[in-house]
Structure 1
């Protein structure tokens, strides 16, 4: 019950629905007990003692009572559903909110399919117990309690025998729960793994098809699906073992009660109608006890689901705004790194080692280096996606940890190497960071990003609805919409992570021209592999294994004859060879 205690905050505010459902459940269960009593009166009084005049009254009374029971059952079920639905609405909202504020590094290892499974299948599993299983549990307790009271009234001996049989059923149910709960936990894990496999396959379908790996993916999914099937079959085996056992215990009880009850009737200790009523009450106990397996089943599933939900809710939000955070509307953009080192969570080797540099407001800094050199790590520290392991990062003479996270990040514009566009209109995608932006501002940002022309040629212009992840747009078009989105928020600090990598040389030239105007008065970090994207920088930092190996302007680095000069020679010699080849081709054609 620890899991349910920890999740109490989500369902206890709706306790009025639960209490209402229980109240009408008690009423419905109490009325159910009336049926055997009416049956006993009909047999003993109306039939055996020939009091025929009682039959119309018993019939009308029975109909009225059953009508009340039907209404009470409806209200009990409806309010039970309201209790479960309202509770998981609050739970789902809390989970989604938690996912928004979890630190950046959480998503480094998180699997999308697994998270989707938690927010859907696991939440639904928890809801089903609150809506159905919990009320069924109360129904079991109330019905068994009421039945035993009437059974003791009819026959003390038979009631005691019935009570003696109940512990055997309870032991079987307990052992069933001990085995079925781990089985359901494994099923939940398998379902999450299967969802992850499907999600990754659909997202990477272009790669699958381009490499003709369809059969490999089919086999890989079959392996995951096979594990899910085996775990379901193992759980079904537990059901198949314990339910016949519980039924056997119930049947043995009925045979014993029938033999002893018949003996009491023959000796006059029990009237025939009382025996019939008693056996009806026996099934009112046996059926709920048999149904207890279903209740245990839903309870076990909800426990397994609750464990997985708490794993998300318990994740630490280790990067948060301080208690008295600075909330500037506009930063100047003075960025200072003082002996900064960074080791990512669950990693041993540092990504950055003792970096120090000072970027004045409005300066443009180029970051260059091979994959894993630390370029993106620098920009992620500025936005506090991660916190430095050692050293200090200052923005406008204050530590980045002193700022409110929202205020800090609203002053930083990102254009990433991998652009994400939402399944919404182009206008909404550009205005995502500033939903209050006017249409004129959106168009202006699109023009500066060289996107306005191709947007207007689309079917609905700025109101064109994009497919998932910008499906239908070329890589360069998606890149330019992302650039427009960054321009619209008018950030004090601009970070361009290979922002022109997906556009052709001609478009890159137009975007670079727009950037030169945009960068005036704005601190800019440019991550690029193309020398042409870095030439405008006031200073270029060449990184290698987390350290600054070279620094200076484009002209200074060319003269150093180091890493930068080597890359420059490769890129520009390749360009010269291409140009000479094209010229040679034209000469031959002439």
Structure 2
């Protein structure tokens, strides 16, 4: 934010909250649009600006302890003097808050009383409209998703209820046979009961099958929807998300979907429904004997309490197992990806030892988890047998006292087993349930992160001309880290070629990532054809920018399939045209299968120069008006680099081109060359202008590379 805007603390506070939500605001555009000056903005105008930028805003007059846990933070503090600060955190135990002062840029700890005197407990609560409208991923997501299948779930629940009613038949039949048929020796009654029992059994079998089929079909639909949502959302996350996490860790989180799938599609939900309807048996048991019912319920309650007690430790061990599994998985991915380095350094032995260390930790955590599950399962089985013995012991006493018949006792025992059975099956599934809970949490790390595109009003243009303007651009990776790009200002006319050089870590590659909106700038703005790129649709923007990196990833498939990735409907004529411009057509023609040659995983069947030329052809297939080459030739041999440089005129023709390079010979024909150091521009000019300054950094680099006399 520019210095003259800092006094408008309301806009500053809103901008900070927007950044926390990863929403890009063009503060300069807001200042111009609403004709703001250095004076503080009135509350009503600030609320209008917030709502115009797709946030919801409500003014609340509540103490901090009332706000904590009820509303999202940060919130904007409305000071009594008309300025604004940010409420970052509330600590109820210490009765204090953490406040960020906009004017000073410092954080302070203020008590509840100090906050009261500062602002009279007046706050603006902000939530982003789109983020707030989305259901956070968790079991709540499944609940809302299941509500889309109300009719199906209703049928499943009705089927479960009827199945439980049918389950009443067996104990009742047993009671009648023991108390009536055997006593009266009535064979005719026995035949009728047997026929009815078989009919009920067949009907119950068909109903059970139908119930499970319907539910499994619905569960598979939800599973497919979640799998599709997961992949789509993962690839809509900002680039920073992937930079901050290891590939193996992300893959491990995605695989948690299998854990959830197993829990949903197996017997788990059916068991939960059976537990819900098993209270029908409790009612029947209560009609037989209050004492025996109390004994059965007591034992089941003890088993349930046992599992509630061990749940924290169980979750802790599940967490440890996940972490050790993620570490070993990440190490495996890194080891296989870097296999060439492993073999060239002959470090297989040390890699094996490290892998065995990771494996030992994982196996140890798995053993501890399984051991705990086995112990708890053994205790529950012992308690179940204890319940059976207790019911028989007290039941026989009731039979002797003529308060129960033999048939009633056996029927009660069967009812008790049918009541405790689903509960014990649920207990046996407790481990899987906890794993599913953790799986939901892990997937939530992906699905609850906001995607890049948050605005429904993202700008797309009919076409680009290629004008790029940097206006006092500043960027840093973390709030407390130094600036990587500092006050970068430069104007690029359409069709110009710009070389950017400087020592490692000077911010060259960061500039190209900012152009692509891989990162959001902290201050200033980048304009393409006069439009702030923060207001552009990032997918559309990147589709119109061709990028070639030092290491380009070729996907498994043919050469043609790799070239047409950005434009799947491209005809072969366009593919050949792009390949010719990139200098790739000749070597492709020499291959036995031509453009249908398989490149292997990561392009393993091709040389470095061949892969680079295919990458250039891929970047050109969409005919982008902005073209970026980020160290694209630095890892190539002289001949491969010369081939690409010889085609450079064709590659950059009609495009605004940015060439990042260490080798100055790569950029010496550029229209302008920017020399960077510590994120700043220290020199600008064409090759001859920069060489004329013998005390300049460019001249020094050129001489160090031995090019002056070359």
Give your verdict on TM over 0.5. Answer: yes
Counterparts of 2:322 and 2:157, CA distance in 1: 30
Aligned mate of 1:112, from 247, 260, 267: 247
Change (3 A) 1:234 1:71: same
Tell me if structure 1 keeps the 8 A contact 2:497–2:658. yes
Tell me if structure 2 keeps the 8 A contact 1:380–1:386. yes
Counterparts of 2:503 and 2:643, CA distance in 1: 26
Counterparts of 1:183 and 1:476, CA distance in 2: 50
Counterparts of 1:456 and 1:70, CA distance in 2: 66
Counterparts of 2:444 and 2:524, CA distance in 1: 34
Tell me if structure 1 keeps the 8 A contact 2:263–2:432. yes
Change (3 A) 1:128 1:321: closer
**Matching of residue 129 in structure 1 with residue 263 in structure 2:** yes
Aligned mate of 2:604, from 459, 463, 471: 471
Change (3 A) 1:515 1:2: closer
How many Å apart are 1:58 and its aligned residue? 2.1
Aligned mate of 2:468, from 313, 335, 339: 335
Tell me if structure 2 keeps the 8 A contact 1:479–1:502. no
Counterparts of 2:636 and 2:302, CA distance in 1: 74
Aligned mate of 2:701, from 558, 567, 582: 567
**Matching of residue 211 in structure 1 with residue 322 in structure 2:** no
Q: Which residue of 2 aligns with 1:352?
A: 485
Q: Which has the higher helix share?
A: 1
How many Å apart are 1:365 and its aligned residue? 0.6
Counterparts of 2:401 and 2:431, CA distance in 1: 44
Counterparts of 2:455 and 2:280, CA distance in 1: 58
Aligned mate of 2:180, from 45, 54, 57: 45
Q: Which residue of 2 aligns with 1:499?
A: 632
Counterparts of 2:199 and 2:479, CA distance in 1: 68
How many Å apart are 1:15 and its aligned residue? 4.2
Aligned mate of 1:256, from 387, 390, 405: 390
* Partner SS, residue 567 of structure 2: coil
Q: Which residue of 1 aligns with 2:10?
A: none
Counterparts of 1:440 and 1:372, CA distance in 2: 41
Counterparts of 2:335 and 2:293, CA distance in 1: 61
* Partner SS, residue 535 of structure 1: coil
Q: Which residue of 1 aligns with 2:561?
A: 428
Q: Where do 5+ consecutive residues of structure 2 fail to align?
A: 1-135
How many Å apart are 1:368 and its aligned residue? 0.8
How many Å apart are 1:321 and its aligned residue? 6.3
Superimposed CA distance per residue, residues 339-361 of structure 1 (whole angstroms, 9 cap, x where no aligned partner): 21111136601111111111111
Counterparts of 1:114 and 1:266, CA distance in 2: 65
Q: Which residue of 1 aligns with 2:648?
A: 515
Change (3 A) 1:56 1:209: same
* Partner SS, residue 101 of structure 1: coil
Superimposed CA distance per residue, residues 549-588 of structure 1 (whole angstroms, 9 cap, x where no aligned partner): 2222112222222332233223336996xxxxxxxxxxxx
How many Å apart are 1:136 and its aligned residue? 0.6
Counterparts of 2:263 and 2:147, CA distance in 1: 14
Tell me if structure 1 keeps the 8 A contact 2:550–2:634. yes
Tell me if structure 1 keeps the 8 A contact 2:496–2:671. yes
How many Å apart are 1:437 and its aligned residue? 1.2
Q: Which residue of 1 aligns with 2:399?
A: 265
Superimposed CA distance per residue, residues 523-572 of structure 1 (whole angstroms, 9 cap, x where no aligned partner): 11111122221121011111111112222211222222233223322333
Say which structure, 1 or 2, has more relative contact order (CA 8 Å, 6+ apart).
Answer: 1
Counterparts of 1:334 and 1:420, CA distance in 2: 29
Q: Which residue of 1 aligns with 2:218?
A: 83
**Matching of residue 95 in structure 1 with residue 225 in structure 2:** no
Q: Which residue of 1 aligns with 2:75?
A: none
Counterparts of 2:608 and 2:155, CA distance in 1: 57
Counterparts of 1:544 and 1:515, CA distance in 2: 26
So what's the TM-score if we normalise by structure 2? 0.77
Change (3 A) 1:176 1:69: farther
* Partner SS, residue 361 of structure 2: helix
How many Å apart are 1:374 and its aligned residue? 0.8
How many Å apart are 1:193 and its aligned residue? 2.2
Q: Which residue of 1 aligns with 2:48?
A: none
Counterparts of 1:14 and 1:457, CA distance in 2: 58
Superimposed CA distance per residue, residues 55-101 of structure 1 (whole angstroms, 9 cap, x where no aligned partner): 22222222221111211221222223223222222222222122212
Q: Which residue of 2 aligns with 1:196?
A: 330
Instruction: Select between 103-112 and 284-293 the one with higher mean Cα deviation.
Output: 284-293
Aligned mate of 1:167, from 295, 301, 319: 301
How many Å apart are 1:431 and its aligned residue? 0.8
Q: Which residue of 1 aligns with 2:432?
A: 298
Q: Which residue of 1 aligns with 2:543?
A: 410
Q: Which residue of 2 aligns with 1:580?
A: none
Counterparts of 2:146 and 2:253, CA distance in 1: 18
Change (3 A) 1:134 1:185: farther
Change (3 A) 1:458 1:543: same
Number of equivalences: 573
Instruction: Select between 537-546 and 14-23 the one with higher mean Cα deviation.
Output: 14-23
Aligned mate of 2:199, from 41, 58, 64: 64
Tell me if structure 1 keeps the 8 A contact 2:690–2:698. yes
* Partner SS, residue 53 of structure 1: helix
* Partner SS, residue 706 of structure 2: helix
Counterparts of 1:322 and 1:8, CA distance in 2: 27
Tell me if structure 2 keeps the 8 A contact 1:329–1:407. no
How many Å apart are 1:6 and its aligned residue? 4.4
